[in-house]
A and B are shown apart, each in its own frame.
Chain A
Amino acid sequence: MSDIFGTMSAAQIHQGLASKEFSAAEMTDAILSGIDAADKSIHAFLQVTPDLAHEAAQKIDQAIASGDFESMGPLAGVPCAYKDNMNLRDTHTTCASKMLENYVSPFTATCVQDTLDAGCIPVGKTNMDEFAFGSTTESSVFGPTKNPWDQTRVPGGSSGGSAAAVAAGMVPVALGSDTGGSIRQPAGFCGVVGVKPTYGVVSRYGVVAFGSSLDQVGPFARNVHDAAEMLNAIQGRDPKDCTSQQSAKDFTANLDEGVKGMKVGVVPAFMESEGLAPEVKNAIEAAAKHLEDAGAELVEIELPNAKAAISAYYVLGPCEAFSNLARFDSVRYGYCDEGHKTLAEQYEASRAKGFGAEAKRRIMLGSYLLSANEYHNYYYPAQQIRTLITQDYQRAFEKVDVILGPVSPCTAFKLGEITDPATMYLFDMFTVPVNISGNGGMSVPLGLGKDSSMPVGAQLICPAFGDENMFRVAAELERCYGSNTVAPDFASAAQANASAGANASADGSASAAVSADDQKGGTR
């Protein structure tokens, strides 16, 4: 039974609850046992929260019984997972680091609270690169997450656990955070939808900070509509985050409008980039053609300063991280190496043992870049380049409604394949410019690459606070490429029933089909 829920969209689960096809308790049990089974191989979760899930499910069932459910909105009863850098009261928030291994949140992040207020059922916290530093989830101190499409490959990162959980059908939706591509890249690698909204659309309060001028929270889902509903729930001004902006849009509003008359920007220089895999290039070109066939006008644009984005990002990110990670002082919370004579020794030993290699590298880099001798060589010019990159986008969006391009230059790499940090950073070339300028971007699945047979993602970039534009184009791509795809090893025969927007039902025939597959997948 868990496989049926595993392939259902958030909308289908909500609908099934509304029509009393199943109870929230029944569905939650099935989702939790589905996580239990699939996560033995995937390791998407650092913590499963059955008590919180059952408690939330009970409230949903009460609302269904009392007739209040209908007024609760489209996310009521939808199971959701959270990246483990988001505080959820009384759960661990580890950031996949030894530093916070035993930290228990005394409060709840605004974005998490928003989903709970919308009626989501919290099922757990997901794996990530330590403190979100990375693109593979391999730097998690608790071990890597595997890509559900091929378990010898990485799911991407840093929100790799959230992406993999959604791709393997463990949850229909999850939240992640994106500082340089950490939602879009794992979404691309795992073949799901991942949205980094325009900076300021979503509150960052209660999300452990990495780069405060770059971080933005956003949803993962297996279809565009579910992702839009999630963003509807978490958007808006939060008095606890002064960078959050008033926003009360319905991002589902234009999903059926099609793209006729829209102008879609393509960047020829991106498509000629050194290192862009042919299968990714072909997939993006095919997607552009689809949009053109659907009535969009393709417009060639230039983003001439994007070539400096990686360098600027790896200045700004580490500088902000250096500052943000100074809070881990081994005194108020976090790992403490005890038995030292002086506070300075305790700081140095605790931070040496509590932080992993990549976290240390970024802190050290920030320390160097912000030093008096180097500030004017790197940090200040990087902020000037931010101006140029932002102006590039402003000029481009005078001509187009959205920009289409690759998320990553290649599909998911093998676990352990890339070990040199500087080489790893170059894979962020298409995602970091968007964080630098603050524009929104999202990843939409384009099916499998011809050479690697792994998912390829298209990146759609929108004007600042024009996020609805990219949702509209994403919906068109979804009409071409399909939706609700679960990685084959985790999809059952029930998937045919659940896919392409068909209203799945947990009826006898579908259950029988799942049972047959259970033997193969070893579910429960």
Chain B
Amino acid sequence: MFASFFYTLRKHKVSVSLMEWMTLMEALSKGYAFSSLTNFYYLARAILVKSETHYDQYDVAFKEYFHGIETPEEIANQILDWLQEPIRRLEISPEEIAQLEKMNWEELMKTFEERLREQKERHNGGSRWIGTGGTSPFGHSGRNPAGIRIGGSAWGRSAVQVAAERHFQNYRSDVVLDIRQMQLALKELRQLSRVGPKEELNLRGTIDATCKNAGELEFIWEAQRKNNVKLLLLMDVGGSMDPYAHLCSLLFSAANSATHFKDFKYFYFHNCIYGHLYTDIELREAQSTNQVLKTMDHDYKVILVGDATMSPTELTMVNGAIDYWEMNETPGIVWLKRIADHFKRCTWLNPEPPRNWIHPTVQMIGRLFPMYELTLEGLDQGIKKLVAAS
């Protein structure tokens, strides 16, 4: 019975691990909850919840599970009863663990289906069908490669199937991107060179020099190694990118909070790059692309993020820009070519899965920039490309 509190928590996306659960059991068996529901509330929260951002979910789960239980005496007996229940300390067989994982997955699936059902009722026909929040990993499935939305009732069903498949994959191989993983991936983006005052002792050099000097000490000092990489991030914030907004913001915060870059700059664009780049997501503060190219050195590493999916006219025609006020005299593809030519190292990260890359504009852009999927693996590959010997 108590074990189901574990699942109630997990259902509400509080990621409790078995290890933390065991710790709670240990604390309970030692009587630290003092037979009071309030103490139990704080005790369980301190042990099980590791981020204040999850406190709310914890509260919801707690309320759902314990509602109706008011008096402390009752809870004391119940906790004692629960301690007799199946999950006992240190007695979990591999089969049981397997079972736990399986149930956990089903639990997650159930939540997802519920959410999907809910959303359909509320937002039917809306442009942000599966929102930008926590469910976004599932979100892309509903859209076909050319960016045309399909309506009708059969839609939801297929999205569930595709999403289920994707989610399962991600769960199994553990490649769900979170900000920490992205930070780790971005850490690979470095080229170390020695700059600054010479204050670090080079031990090997000192030994060599001392030996050559017939045993008279000769110290060799050198400067610390610093990362020399400058990063430029260009992100598509067009309408077709809405389902990936969460993913993109993760990448942005990972890059922005990374302290190891010598310089980090970012701009936004809508669908394709023309004469202007924007410093804000609402595309109000513009800078001329020419100016950006003029003022930035060739050695910036460039990561472009976008689905590269648009009407071919937007890419190849004069005045083809989706925003009429852009009035571009130069086709988008030429601007992209200029960027690819100006910077030595560029990579394009596409949040769409590669099976959708048959679209003509994705093909064309893929010939200009090496293109990778915006997953952990794709990010790794793209970064390898960026730091490859230049």
Is the pairing of A and B real?
no
- Residue ranges of A at the interface with B (Cβ–Cβ < 8 Å): none
